[in-house]
Amino acid sequence: MTHAQVPRDDRSGSKPSGWRYPALLAGTALATLISAQAAAVAPGSPAPAFALTTLDGKPVALADLKGKWVALEWTNPECPFVQKHYGPDNMQATQRLAADKQVVWVQVNSTNPGHQDFKSARQMNEWLVAMKAVPTYAALDQSGVVGKAYGAKTTPHMYLINPAGQVVYNGAIDDKRSANPADIPGARNHMKEAITEAVSGKPVTIAATTPYGCSIKY
């Protein structure tokens, strides 16, 4: 077997081998990027701009929704945690509440096209119809650019943006961190609470929680 050679660190007075520095710089850049993503979605921070194409080929951009309340939902139909909320109509009920309060709901699927969970626009449309889901818009984020800009980590992962373009809620849909639909009746729906409080002019009691679910397949 041929073993890979590790560059030698010459301690005879010359400079150490430079192979370490690119890795160090890359690690620093990655840490900076992750930190920037986390800061971008903190409650009170400006919501990152986005421009997507809906499943039926129409453009939707945050800039066009200025002055409106906007809910964002990251989804993946193959994820058991997403199925937990769609099977018993929990996510749909949250979407209907949002619509009743004039909140624009944008559903985003950031699954990489090369992943086995990827769904085409046609497949996503078929799933939405089967689930009787009612998002205002649904779009694919195949490059993952939008998801990464928001620091979206899981499916589901929820955000609420106020008419001034600031994030006022970021996190889980509820407080029952399981894939069991039987847990829903006893759960505290953070997204419903955030929408109800924010739209009525009240501060959001719980503005940030840790999302749970399947990792987004960037």
Question: pLDDT digits over 132-150, tens only?
Answer: 999 999 999 999 999 999 9
* Residue range 20-215, CATH number: 3.40.30.10
Question: Which range among 33-42, 57-66, 166-175, 193-202 shows the weakest confidence by mean pLDDT?
Answer: 33-42
d(CA 106, CA 69): 11
Q: How large is the average pLDDT for residues 181-188?
A: 98
d(CA 17, CA 23): 12
Residue 2 has pLDDT above 50, yes or no: no
Q: What mean pLDDT value characterizes the chain?
A: 86
- Structure confidence at residue 126 as a pLDDT band (50, 70, 90): very high
pLDDT score for 17:
34
The DSSP code sequence of 63-105 is: GGGTTSEEEEEE--TT-HHHHHHHTTTHHHHHHHHHHHTTEEE
Angle between helices 190-199 and 90-100 in degrees, nearest 10: 0
Residue 108: closest CA among 147, 79, 58: 147
Judge whether 205 and 193 are in contact, CB under 8 Å: yes
d(CA 59, CA 53): 5
Buried b (16+ CB within 10 A) or exposed e, 47-71: bbebebbbbeeeebebeebeeebbb
Q: How large is the average pLDDT for residues 99-123?
A: 99
Query: 199: Cβ–Cβ under 8 A, 6 or more apart, which residues?
Result: 69, 101, 102, 103
More confident residue, 13 or 186: 186
Q: How large is the average pLDDT for residues 14-37?
A: 34
d(CA 83, CA 77): 7
* Angle (CA) 43 44 49, round 5°: 90
d(CA 26, CA 28): 5
The CA distances from residue 77 to 86, 118, 182, in Å, are 9, 9, 19
Judge whether 155 and 214 are in contact, CB under 8 Å: yes
Residue 211 has pLDDT above 60, yes or no: yes
User: Domain coordinates of the chain in residue numbers?
Assistant: 20-215
pLDDT score for 41:
79
